[in-house]
Amino acid sequence: MTILESIALGALQGITEFLPISSSAHLIFVPWFFNIESHNINKLTFDVMLHFGTLFAILLIYGRKFVDILTEGWREVQQGTIRNALITKIILATCPATLLGLFFKDVIEHYLRSPSIIVVMLITVSLLMIVAERVRVKAREITYPIALLIGFAQAIALIPGTSRSGITITVAILLGIQRTKAVDFSFLLSIPIILGVSLFEARHLTHDVGGLGIYGMGFVSAFVFGALSLKFLITYLKKHSLDVFAYYRIIIALLILLFS
């Protein structure tokens, strides 16, 4: 892998991590299509650096809000009113993906990364996006049952081709959550997940002086493009629908079918 390839893959990670187009599908298909080799680096170390890049990106945008939620939660614990705290709903919604990832990680990586499964998930979630933009559901607040359902949606996103942001925002909208609240909850929910994955995979970090430039540029690229794409999505979805992302996903699914 070259420096330019690491920048390109970092940018790809940053963009697809937050836009609802599936980072896993792109990060599986693009290196294969362009024959990007990683023999000269530790691939797991490189992946960890990309995860940390996207983690810092989301903390840049949502870090202060997440700290405020934690502070408010702690205050409500002291007052005995933690029952309706947003942080407890985030914790509850994080559980399904955490448990599924811990106990079925090997199954997912070995059996659910085939082109056919990626294509099915790309198209299925695209159709859900299109439906979500066309049905009218009674407006609701984020209750514990709704938070848990969004959490199960996030767990499904462990299957390549799904898109964590895509399916959580879509399910939230289908459950009656107002669009901006759905976007905020989706990305606040991603902070403990991305942090957990980054720390869990950090055990694969190796001391590789020769690859420092590749790792470093991948991290910086994932951070910069992640922050830009997340800021773009938040602004875009205030006035536009998910349709353009749904149609893009369908095109990617057809390209994977064509070239695989």
Question: What would the two tokens of residue 221 be?
Answer: 């690229």
pLDDT mean over 196-211: 73
The count of C-alpha atoms lying within 13 angstroms of the C-alpha of 211, restricted to the half-sphere facing its C-beta, is: 21
pLDDT mean over 240-246: 96
Helices 115-132 and 164-174, packing angle to 10 deg: 30
pLDDT at 7: 92
Q: Any idea which residue has 């983690």 for tokens?
A: 55
pLDDT mean over 116-142: 94
For residue 55, give the H/E element and its range.
helix 43-79
Rounded to an integer, what distance in angstroms lies between the CA atom of residue 156 and that of residue 185? 17
Question: What would the two tokens of residue 97 be?
Answer: 């993906």
**What global pTM score does this model have?**
0.92
Rounded to an integer, what distance in angstroms lies between the CA atom of residue 8 and that of residue 163? 20
112: left (phi over 0), alpha (psi -120 to 50) or beta: alpha
pLDDT at 208: 62
Confidence of residue 203 (pLDDT cuts 50, 70, 90): confident
pLDDT per residue as tens digits for the range 32-83: 777 776 667 777 788 888 999 999 999 999 999 999 999 988 888 777 766 7
pLDDT mean over 127-136: 95
Q: What percent of the chain has pLDDT over 70?
A: 94
State yes or no: pLDDT of 183 exceeds 90: yes
pLDDT at 199: 85
3-state secondary structure 71-102: HHHHHHHHHCCHHHCHHHHHHHHHHHHHHHHH
Which range, 77-81, 207-211, 224-228, has the best average confidence (pLDDT)? 224-228
Q: What percent of the chain has pLDDT over 90?
A: 64
Q: What's the mean pLDDT when you consider all of the chain?
A: 90
pLDDT at 69: 93
pLDDT at 212: 80
pLDDT at 206: 65
Rounded to an integer, what distance in angstroms lies between the CA atom of residue 187 and that of residue 4? 29
pLDDT at 95: 96
Domain boundaries, the chain: 3-259
